[in-house]
Amino acid sequence: MGETEAATTGVSITELEEFVPMMCKALNDPKRILILLILGEAPHTVSELVSLIGAPQANVSQHLAVLRDRGIIEAQREGSNVWYRLRYPEILDALSVLREIFRAELRRKGAIIPQPDGWPDHWAAS
């Protein structure tokens, strides 16, 4: 995107340059990635995520706050529950690309490709 195009949308070049590092920083934790993969399957409450991930509620809530603050997920109150869902399901495509790059690098090194505990089956090593 050129400077003119950025200027017409009200977004500065600096904001555009900072976006990717900000998103990568938000994804800089395996639990956050796991949360995104789980939310990619269906919306969940904090208590459901705690059960699925096996992490303390305070820890899961902190991760959700980071993801929500970066605009990656959104929360919606329904009755006494707050449901978390992906704001942009395309984030799963980005994670898939990173996974494939990682797998290619492991294959290049002749390494065995691990499957992290608790990750969805369709993310299993192939």
The stretches of the chain forming alpha helices (DSSP H) are 3-9, 13-26, 30-41, 46-53, 57-69, 90-109
Burial of 86 (0-12, 13-18, 19+ CB in 10 A): buried
Cα–Cα distance, 65 to 73 (Å, whole number): 9
- The per-residue pLDDT for 57 is 97
Q: Extract the tokens encoding 113.
A: 């490709």
pLDDT in tens, 2-35: 444 444 567 788 887 888 888 989 999 999 999 9
The CATH code belonging to domain 14-112 is 1.10.10.10
- Which of 69-78, 94-103, 110-119 has the least mean pLDDT? 110-119
pLDDT tens-digit series, residues 80-99: 999 999 999 999 999 999 88
| CA dist., res. 60 & res. 50, Å (int) | 6
